[in-house]
Amino acid sequence: MPEILEVETARALLEARALDREITQVHAPDPWFLKRGLTPPAVRAALRGQSFTKARRRGKLILVDLSSAGSVPEPPGSVLGLHLGMSGRVLVDDEAAGDPLLYASNKADSAWHRFGVTFADGGSMYLRDPRRLGAVELDPDEERLGPDAFDLTLAQLRTILGRSRAPVKAVIMDQSRVAGLGNLLCDEALWRAGIDPARSAHDLRDDEVKRLHRAIRDTLRILGRRGGSHTGDLTSARGPGLHCPKDGAPLLRRTVGGRTTYSCPVHQR
C-alpha cells in the first residue's frame, strides 16, 4: 500500500515529467472515482487548456497546481487532488513511479486507468488503480490534514500526543494529526523508538516523545533511501514465528488502532 514514501515518489515523477504541458483531453471514465461532488464534465472543464505548474504533497495527498492557480481572483478548480488509495500508481508517458515490483497494479491494463489527461505533445498522465480506492478531487481541503510527517517538529509531536489518551500508534497514524504515516511506517518508527504501540499517547514521557520524533525522522530518511515503506528492519521480520531484529525476542502480533501491529515485547515498553 502506498505510504508517504511512495506518494512522494509519485509526486516527484509528476514534478519532473508532467509540468508545463498543455492538457488537451481529460480521461474520467469512472464518476465514482471523482470525489466531493466532482463530475466528469466539471473536471474536464477545469483541466482542459490548462497545464500543471507544480506538484506538491501533504501526507498521502498529492496536490497538483493548475496554470489557473495564482490568478487574482483565483478561479475554483485550480488545484487537482490525487489520492493513490491502496493500490494506485501515477504513470507519466506510461512510466510508473517507484519500484515496479511493489504493487499488483504494475500490470499494464488500461481498464485500471481511473483518471488521466492527454497532453498536446501526445504524452499522458494516468492514475492506475486496480482496487479503485484512490480518488480525484478539485481544491482539496488541505487543512483537514495534520502537519506532514517529513516536516513534523518535536513541539508539534509533543502537543499532538499530549492531547490524546488513545494508543500512541493510533494517534500518529491519524491523518488529521500527522499526515503521511501508515501502518508499516508507524510500526517501524515505534520499534526504532523502543515504545510499545499500545501505550496511551498522553502517558509518554518527554524523553520518549523525543525518541519517537527522532525515530520518525530516521524511518523516513532510511526507508526512503532503501526504496519504500516495506524496507524497514521490523517490516522485513513481519509474519508468524518471527523475531525482533534487535534482540531476537519473538515478535508480538496484536491489533492496535484497528490495524495489525507487530512489536517487540522486550525492548518496546
What's 208-231 look like in SS3? HHHHHHHHHHHHHHHHHHHCCHHH
- Distance CA(7)–CA(228), nearest Å, equals 10
Query: In whole angstroms, how close is the CB of 191 to Zn ion at the nearest point?
Result: 7
Closer by beta carbon to Zn ion, 108 or else 249: 249
Pairing of strands 89-92, 124-128: antiparallel
Closest by Cα among 128, 92, 135 to 112: 128
CB 35 within 8 A of CB 133: no
Are the beta carbons of 243 and 227 closer than 8 angstroms? no
Contacts of 226 (CB under 8 A, 6+ apart): none
| Residue 206 φ/ψ, nearest 5 degrees | -65, -35
Residues that bind Zn ion (CB under 5 A): 244, 246-247, 264, 266-267
Q: Please identify every residue annotated as catalytic.
A: 2-3, 60, 259
User: Closest distance between Zn ion and the C-beta of residue 194, in Å?
Assistant: 8
Question: What is the smallest separation between the CB atom of 237 and Zn ion, expressed in angstroms?
Answer: 10
Q: How far is the CB of 206 from Zn ion (least distance, A)?
A: 23
**In the complex with Zn ion, which residue's Cβ is closer, 8 or 188?**
188
Per DSSP, which regions of the chain are E strands? 23-27, 52-58, 61-66, 79-83, 89-92, 95-96, 113-119, 124-128, 135-138, 252-256, 259-263
Nearer Cβ to Zn ion, position 42 or 237?
Answer: 237
- Quick one: 123 or 194, whose CB is closer to Zn ion? 194
